[in-house]
């Protein structure tokens, strides 16, 4: 981290205050409305519309059955939300997070496996659970965390999983974080080179993937081009 970036990150007066964006949904897709009224798709919606993504999901639902798919998806969503809430509270300085234990015991246990890694790696919170948008790429989203990871400014995404994942399975996560880094730079002028996925499985295994935004920016650009080429609705008229 160079001196200029360091001073901007550590000076509260120099930090940009992102507005909270209005959320819209349309046929299962999520969109955010910027302060100027323009609407942008969420990065997770864009990732979900990749060629073959919907087909794979449909095949999975067919294989295990609609009812079981609903149960599995619901459990994963609740676990992920609860885990994010615990991480946010803890990184905001809440020392006693035991009240989360009764809300989602599994997420609480998974957090306890991750806690030592947060203590070791994260040294400064710049923002958490913040909506952001990119006029350049015409995309928006809600970023888990931006702050000082080890000694560098990084986008960090917290993930839960039923079982550990191979790196080649989660390229979408790296593209998602690259999008957040781009959104942040557009509004603050501060570039972020590092992205991190901190993931914990239900068996307690923690996986940390550290990547560079430069390796995924072209993939983000290509994905956004494909999304808008195939979009069959006018976002601004929704």
pLDDT tens profile 142-188: 999 999 999 899 999 999 999 999 999 999 999 999 999 999 999 99
Whether 74 shows a pLDDT value over 90: the answer reads: no
pLDDT band at 228 (very low <50, low <70, confident <90, very high): very high
Strands 152-161 vs 139-149: parallel, antiparallel or unpaired: antiparallel
| pLDDT tens figures, 12-69 | 556 678 989 999 988 888 999 999 899 999 999 999 888 766 666 667 677 778 777 6
- Are the C-beta atoms of 21 and 140 separated by less than 8 Å? yes
Q: What letter would DSSP give residue 128? A: E
Q: Retrieve residue 184's tokens.
A: 């942040």
Judge whether residue 6 has pLDDT over 70.
no
CA-wise closest residue to 106 among 134, 72, 83, 130 = 83
Q: Which residues pair with 145 in a beta bridge?
A: 128, 156
User: Rounded mean pLDDT of 197-206?
Assistant: 97
Instruction: Answer yes or no: is pLDDT of 3 > 60.
Output: no
pLDDT at 57: 66
pTM for this model (two decimals) = 0.90
Q: Which residues contact 91 (CB under 8 A, 6 or more apart)?
A: 118, 122, 125, 128, 145
Q: Would you state the torsion angle of the CA atoms of residues 25, 31, 33, 37, taken in this order, to the nearest 10 degrees?
A: -90
């Amino acid at each position: 981290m160079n001196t200029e970036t360091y001073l901007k990150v550590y000076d509260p007066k120099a930090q940009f205050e992102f507005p909270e964006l209005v959320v819209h949904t349309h046929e299962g897709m999520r969109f955010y409305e910027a302060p100027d009224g323009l609407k942008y798709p969420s990065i997770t919606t864009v990732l979900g519309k990749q060629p073959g993504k919907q087909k794979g999901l449909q095949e999975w639902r067919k294989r295990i059955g609609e009812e079981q798919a609903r149960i599995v998806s619901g459990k994963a969503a609740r676990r992920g939300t609860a885990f994010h809430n615990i991480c946010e509270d803890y990184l905001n300085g809440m020392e006693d997070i035991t009240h989360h234990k009764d809300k989602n015991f599994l997420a609480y246990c998974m957090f306890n496996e991750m806690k030592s890694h947060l203590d070791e790696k994260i040294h400064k919170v710049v923002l958490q659970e913040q909506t952001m948008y990119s006029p350049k790429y015409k995309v928006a989203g809600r970023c888990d965390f931006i702050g000082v990871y080890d000694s560098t400014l990084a986008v960090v995404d917290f993930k839960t999983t039923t079982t550990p994942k191979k790196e080649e399975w989660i390229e979408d996560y790296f593209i998602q974080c690259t999008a957040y880094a781009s959104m942040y730079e557009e509004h603050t002028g501060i570039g972020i080179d590092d992205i991190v996925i901190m993931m914990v499985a239900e068996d307690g295994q923690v996986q940390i993937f550290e990547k560079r935004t430069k390796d995924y920016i072209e993939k983000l650009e290509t994905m956004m081009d494909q999304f808008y080429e195939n979009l069959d609705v006018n976002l601004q008229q929704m």
